[in-house]
């Protein structure tokens, strides 16, 4: 199967995605916050917060999984992206780890469809052009390694993010052979 049949970039709302799992761009506490994190907690209902309290937080670059509760998605994979501090504090590695660990967790739970927001590109200030290339590259690397995923969506909340992620996908796909 061609990667472009599995991986897509779409404008939309992460909480409305009808997939097995959505990814939450969480903070280290996993107890809710602003942006995507707040929207997911609000849409999922109070049971999500109750379950998150039992997890004991999550280090940057790692991922945890909970039920989706009132969301269309069965699961929520919570990952903590890095705060951008200029690029000299392992931000790129930590962002790659956040995507990679989310994908590993999805595979471990038999998830076949997953939707990601733009991790770290909002309040955490990661430059969208750099984040998009890392996100797309990490997902493609995972798909080419024998993944069982059938549908991976990169959900963008504005046109700037959409343009950047679409460009990254196009440029990377242009330079790799089909699966």
Q: State whether the Cα torsion 90-176-63-42 is positive or negative.
A: positive
Q: Write down the pLDDT at residue 178.
A: 59
**C-alpha span between 161 and 132 (Å, rounded):** 8
What CA–CA distance (Å, rounded) separates 62 from 105?
Answer: 10
Q: What does the pLDDT read at residue 1? A: 63
In the chain, the domains with their CATH numbers are: 3-174 (3.40.220.10)
Q: Which residues are catalytic?
A: 37
pTM of the model: 0.97
pLDDT of residue 147: 97
Q: How do residues 21-51 score in pLDDT, each as one tens digit? A: 999 999 999 999 999 999 999 999 999 999 9
Cα–Cα dist 143/2, whole Å: 10
Question: What residues of the chain score a pLDDT lower than 70?
Answer: 1, 178-179
Q: Is 4 helix (H, G, I), strand (E, B) or coil?
A: helix
For the chain, give the mean pLDDT.
Answer: 97
Backbone angles phi, psi at 24, to 5 degrees: -100, 125
Q: Tokens at residue 146, please?
A: 């024998």
């Amino acid at each position: 199967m061609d990667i472009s049949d599995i991986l897509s970039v779409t404008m939309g709302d992460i909480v409305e995605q009808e997939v097995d799992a959505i990814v939450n761009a969480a903070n280290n506490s996993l107890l809710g916050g602003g942006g995507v994190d707040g929207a997911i907690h609000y849409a999922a209902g109070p049971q999500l917060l109750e379950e998150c309290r039992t997890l004991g937080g999550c280090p940057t670059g790692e991922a945890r999984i909970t039920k989706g509760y009132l969301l269309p998605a069965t699961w929520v994979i919570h990952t903590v992206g890095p705060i951008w501090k200029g690029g000299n504090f392992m931000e790129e590695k930590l962002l790659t780890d956040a995507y990679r660990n989310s994908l590993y967790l999805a595979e471990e739970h038999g998830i076949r469809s997953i939707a990601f927001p733009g991790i770290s590109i909002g309040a955490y200030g990661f430059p969208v052009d750099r984040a998009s290339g890392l996100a797309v590259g990490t997902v493609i690397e995972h798909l080419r390694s024998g993944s069982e995923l059938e549908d991976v969506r990169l959900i963008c909340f504005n046109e700037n993010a959409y343009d950047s992620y679409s460009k990254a996908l196009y440029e990377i796909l242009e330079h790799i052979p089909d699966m």
